Structure 1
Amino acid sequence: MNNSNNINDAFKGWSDKSYNRGRHLVERDITTLGWATPFYPDNSIPEHVLNATVSGLKNHGSSYLLPEGDLRLREAIASRLKKFNNLDVNSHKEILVTPGSNAGLYYAVKPFIKPGANDEVLIPDPSYTGNFLSVRLNGGIPVSVPLHASDGFQLDVGEFEKKLTPNTKMIILSNPNNPTTTVHKRENILSLCRLCVEKDLIMVVDHSFEDIIFDSRELLTIASVEEMWERTITVFSLSKGMGLSGYRIGYLVACEELMSIYHRFAVNILGPVNTAASYGAKAALEDYAFVDFYRKIFERRREVAFKMISQIPGVDCLFPESGYMLWVNISKLGTSDEIVKYLIDDARVIVNPGTEYGACGEGYIRIIYGAFKDDEKIYSILERIKESLKKLAFKKGII
């Protein structure tokens, strides 16, 4: 039976090529620096989080929680939002716990896109793959707004204005940005907020990497900006900063009017997240000193990783502002896909092609230096990448 005519066109264009490549290569014992989760594949659950998880499993593990998330977890989230994001939210009515941030992104977009109506969503390019996919899978049209290396991939409201049409419904962005690590400047965010208000646009903001920011850079929470609370949905994750990706816990924050719609999704579609994981997540949000410890590790690694990769002839590397990744311009050595394949064959290391993050990512690769607990292990893998690319540069006559 041929089902191709029955499949939604949005799913036909949805590729899992990169994931399958990585999965098969890991099975062949090729090292991956392509999965953005702290210390992968080493376990990194803090003791107090593990204890709370086990307690939750022993005492409550066979029972459902509320579809919108356990109230005690939502209260811990509200407390953190007030301290770190300048948001005073109602834990009963303005928070929804989701199974990771990807599900949050998908449902954040869903109420505002009408399939077949040619609704458009402006998305900085390069940025997180899920930002584009969440629009396509809901029947909308993602419209790339180019970011430029010359200004550190900062937001430029003029570029957004060029892409506006009568069909524009919303903007999705990640702050800090994955993969460039850019922490968007206050003045650029405020300009974009004014555009949203003027054009009556919805804003969806992914804050997945907010915990790992360097050099005391300011992270301005868009929902806290005047006139933006009623039109902003913010997506959070416990995966990227806290290293709890296996827990599959994220959350949406929005005004009561919007959240009433998302609560219906939770009741009728999503259902509650894992019970034991919720208890662990509450413990992590209430005692997060371990995140500062992680940040110090990644800050130390940032210096070493940047220095190593910057020494490669023909390669330009952005000094990371957040996270635990390098965004590397390898366009003088080859295309993104060519370099990814070359590093697999020559260095036996998997990295991400820049094109996973939009068309403007061509000529770049993303390297995760946050993998593994052992600093020396990650440095030795980066050394393999460095020597491999130096060899390629020599072959191309760049040295």
Structure 2
Amino acid sequence: MQSGKTHYTPDSGIVELREAIAKKLRLENNLNYSVDDITVVSGSQEGISVVTQALLNHGDEVILSDPYYPSYTQNIWLRGAKPVFVPLRAENGFQMMAEDVEKAVTDKTKAIVIVSPNNPTGGVQSLEQLKAIAEIAIKHDLVVISDEIYEYIVYDGQTHHSIGSLPGMLERTITQNGFSKSYAMTGWRIGYLATPRELTPKIQEIHRATVICPPSVSQYAALAAITGPQDSVRRMVDEFSRRREFIVKRLREIPHVNVAAPSGAFYAFPDFSDYTNDDKALAKNLIKHAHVVTVHGSGFGELGRGHLRISFAASLSKLEEGLNRIEDYLRKNWPEKFT
């Protein structure tokens, strides 16, 4: 800001940032997008909006998971299109399974949305499942929207894979990513899309009509993040790993709460259905009576019913206090579960 970089930039982003993103995608993700096919957007929310506007027509169908990230369903509905859900199951590591995807395809299907690592479940797609889904996309001539915003935040030796790196997939994959999660830059509102050449002009036209360009100061901050030392990212993931171990262990100490250890991202998605299926009321009551904030699972889809999403982006001390309060609230209202 002191150097005066506070004015309009090129619509699709400053060239230095787009070059750095293209280099990162090539070296880390084996994705060979042209710099011209990188569009810097004002956060992933704008990215989702731009992509769905560019891609979808009234009556189209989009396959995505249940539970899902709500911005996808909202934007699909806004375009007059229809989300078609496939289940994420704890026994499969909350992965989108190719056999479920194949069953969901119809002659109206336009795209498949993959969010891996997943919000809210923490599932991470295996290379095996990505290959199988890629075969389906090629067979039915579908576009894949690959949301990789949590790519660095994986645990237990898991590896993040980009579906666009698989044979025949770059030309049909929209890769969405950003800086909010990897670099804790949520307030800067900066992300990016990497798109097949034939889609890029429409993507950039809609982006230009929506925001003109992303904030200049956010772009230069993102450039510093992506080109600077990455040790802060590694330290952050190490800390998330410690918190993950704690929160899973602590939740499993509460009777009748079932939780799978997330493979990625920074959310636990415990199942409280042995207490109540009204997860929305449970979340509200935890705020009102225990002063603990969670997100009700049914807000992420029908298969989230009975669950709560608990972020472990807070400190260990706050997590410990919050989980103690949750247990105390459950004990007070369902004493029979603790006998």
TM (norm. structure 2) is 0.95
Partner of 1:90: 34
Native 8 Å contact 2:123 2:262 kept in 1? yes
Q: Please list, as runs of the form range in 1=range in 2, the aligned pairs for 1:255-294 lying within 5 A after superposition.
A: 255-287=196-228, 288-294=230-236
Q: Does 1:78 align with 2:22?
A: yes
Amino acid at match of 1:351: T
> Size of the alignment, in residue pairs?
337
Native 8 Å contact 1:238 1:244 kept in 2? yes
Partner of 1:365: 308
Native 8 Å contact 2:256 2:272 kept in 1? yes
Amino acid at match of 1:222: I
| SS class of match (1:60) | coil
Distance in structure 2 (CA, Å) of the matches to 1:77 and 1:362 = 38
Runs (4 or more) in structure 1 with deviation over 3 Å come to: 390-393
Partner of 2:6: 62
Structure with larger RCO (C-alpha < 8 A, sep 6+): 1
| SS class of match (1:59) | coil
| SS class of match (2:62) | strand
Distance in structure 2 (CA, Å) of the matches to 1:342 and 1:315 = 17
Native 8 Å contact 1:60 1:276 kept in 2? no
| SS class of match (2:270) | strand
Native 8 Å contact 2:150 2:264 kept in 1? yes
User: Residues 351-394 of structure 1: CA distance to partner in whole angstroms, max 9, x if unpaired?
Assistant: 101111111111111001112xx432332222222332343442
Of the structure 1 ranges 290-299 and 142-151, higher mean CA displacement relative to structure 2 is found in 142-151
Q: Please list, as runs of the form range in 1=range in 2, the aligned pairs for 1:84-233 lying within 5 A after superposition.
A: 84-91=28-35, 93-115=36-58, 118-233=59-174
| SS class of match (1:233) | strand
Partner of 2:239: 297
Q: Please list, as runs of the form range in 1=range in 2, the aligned pairs for 1:240-389 lying within 5 A after superposition.
A: 240-287=181-228, 288-335=230-277, 336-371=279-314, 374-389=315-330
Give percent identity, aligned residues only: 31
Native 8 Å contact 1:120 1:167 kept in 2? yes
| SS class of match (1:72) | helix
Point out where structure 2 has 5 or more consecutive residues left out of the alignment.
none
Native 8 Å contact 2:13 2:39 kept in 1? yes
User: Residues 82-125 of structure 1: CA distance to partner in whole angstroms, max 9, x if unpaired?
Assistant: 2221112222x11000000111111112222112xx11111111
Q: How far off its partner does 1:147 sit?
A: 1.6
TM (norm. structure 1) is 0.81
